[in-house]
């Protein structure tokens, strides 16, 4: 028996390409894959980016009410914690069922006690979808009823990042792109915004000096910790084993994902912040890169330990060095495991079932 589709409206004031980030990527992929499995589906997004946010918020409330009434929409899903205010208002004015995705940091905004204010509104919605078990714990800590929370991991489209070309051919392309020979060096890759909790400076100071000189740690990304990372390379004398690329193009990042032996996620705990999941882990692993990551926060759900890589204790330099010295897991095994567990088709189906359950 065919299940009746839910009429869902997605609302987000951050969306690519006008704004770029993890939540933006998540919302783009979620709406596309739910629409592919469940029609009719509607989207209401802010096309102007943050500069038009003050105008978009009141407009989105009026437009959402109009769409809900005109099309008989039964469900509203909003992108992140700060959307909770208009979400609750729309719920009160229309009676529609409302769900929200919480990513981690969006429930931890302590400025002006926003974390408590957001939690106050969030717990009055119908369903809170958390991207990891760690994110759910942060919600519950702030008074969101556990029975309202569901954990659905982030997803990845396995057709976007893999290049499906011979590895030696791609390494040659990478040598040309970087302007340096790689030979048989073991490539370690980190990608993301350079903030303290990402642990890149710690990794350079504590782990890189322990590694064989055949290892090359490639850092893709920029951010406020850029100078601290650069200083760590200089002070530790590991300039021959670390390559700082800054922000990279999509094309170069894909090439890096497909040629890296290991993807490194050496996060460290920083009060008032967290890694809600770690989407870049899925991006790299979908290309077959083995992951070595600190077992903290949402990262614990993004790595299938022993299958897509290894989880190691936070700040355990010996454990990182030990796993880097090993041979990587079979790229095909890693990519297949990611496809089975984190393919957006799988994740979107879980969202549809959760909304239908309301």
Instruction: Report which DSSP code applies to 356.
Output: H
CB atoms within 10 A of CB 320: 27
User: Which range has the worst mean pLDDT, 22-36, 213-227, 328-342?
Assistant: 22-36
Q: What is the count of structural domains for the chain?
A: 2
115 lies in the same domain as 150:
yes
141 lies in the same domain as 277:
no
Tell me the residue range of the domain where 19 lies: 8-155+343-357
- Better pLDDT: 111 or 67: 67
User: How many separate helices (H) and strands (E) can be counted in the chain?
Assistant: 14, 12
143 lies in the same domain as 199:
no
Specify whether the CB–CB gap between 197 and 270 falls below 8 A: yes
Q: Is 162 a member of any domain?
A: no
143 lies in the same domain as 230:
no
CATH of the domain at 316: 3.40.50.2000
Q: What is the pLDDT of residues 268-294, one digit of tens each?
A: 999 999 999 999 999 999 999 999 999
What confidence tier does 2 reach under pLDDT thresholds 50, 70, 90? low
Q: Is the pLDDT of residue 4 over 80?
A: no
Per-chain mean pLDDT for the chain: 94
225 lies in the same domain as 113:
no
Q: What is the pLDDT of residues 165-199, one digit of tens each?
A: 999 999 999 999 999 999 999 999 999 999 999 99
The pTM score is 0.93
Strands (E), 192-307: 215-220, 242-246, 262-265, 290-294
Taking the mean position of all CA atoms in its chain, how far away is CA 339? 16
What is the pLDDT averaged over residues 136-140? 96
What confidence tier does 146 reach under pLDDT thresholds 50, 70, 90? very high
Q: Is 2 a member of any domain?
A: no
Q: Is the pLDDT of residue 18 over 80?
A: no
137 lies in the same domain as 33:
yes
Specify whether the CB–CB gap between 297 and 134 falls below 8 A: yes
Q: What does the pLDDT read at residue 189? A: 98
Q: Is 161 a member of any domain?
A: no
285 lies in the same domain as 320:
yes
């Amino acid at each position: 028996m065919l299940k009746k589709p839910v009429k869902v409206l997605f609302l987000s004031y951050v969306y690519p390409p006008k704004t770029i980030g993890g939540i933006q990527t998540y919302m783009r992929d979620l709406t596309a894959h739910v629409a592919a499995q469940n029609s009719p589906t509607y989207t209401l997004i802010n096309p102007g980016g943050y500069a038009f946010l003050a105008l978009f918020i009141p407009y989105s409330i009026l437009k959402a009410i109009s769409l809900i009434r005109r099309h008989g929409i039964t469900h509203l899903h909003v992108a992140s914690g700060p959307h909770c205010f208009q979400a609750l208002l729309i719920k009160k004015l229309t009676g529609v069922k409302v769900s929200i995705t919480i990513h981690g940091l969006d429930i931890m905004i302590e400025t002006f006690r926003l974390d408590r204010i957001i939690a106050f509104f969030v717990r009055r919605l119908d369903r809170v979808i958390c991207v990891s078990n760690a994110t759910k714990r942060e919600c519950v800590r702030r008074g969101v009823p556990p029975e309202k929370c569901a954990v659905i991991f982030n997803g990845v489209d396995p057709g976007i990042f893999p290049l499906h070309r011979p590895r030696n051919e791609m390494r040659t392309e990478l040598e040309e792109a970087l302007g340096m020979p790689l030979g048989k060096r073991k490539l370690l890759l980190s990608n993301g915004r350079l903030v303290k909790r990402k642990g890149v400076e710690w990794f350079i100071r504590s782990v890189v000096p322990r590694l064989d000189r055949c290892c090359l740690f490639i850092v893709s990304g920029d951010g406020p910790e850029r100078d601290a990372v650069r200083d760590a390379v200089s002070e530790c004398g590991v300039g021959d084993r670390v390559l700082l690329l800054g922000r990279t193009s999509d094309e170069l990042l894909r090439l890096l994902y497909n040629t890296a032996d290991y993807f490194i996620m050496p996060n460290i705990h920083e009060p008032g912040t967290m890694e809600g999941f770690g989407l870049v882990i899925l991006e790299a692993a979908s290309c077959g890169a083995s992951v070595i990551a600190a077992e903290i926060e949402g990262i614990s759900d993004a790595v299938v330990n022993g299958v897509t890589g290894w989880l190691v204790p936070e700040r355990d330099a010996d454990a990182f060095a030990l796993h880097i010295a090993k041979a990587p897991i079979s790229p095909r095994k890693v990519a297949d495991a990611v496809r089975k567990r984190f393919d957006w088709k799988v994740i979107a189906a879980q969202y549809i079932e959760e909304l239908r359950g309301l």
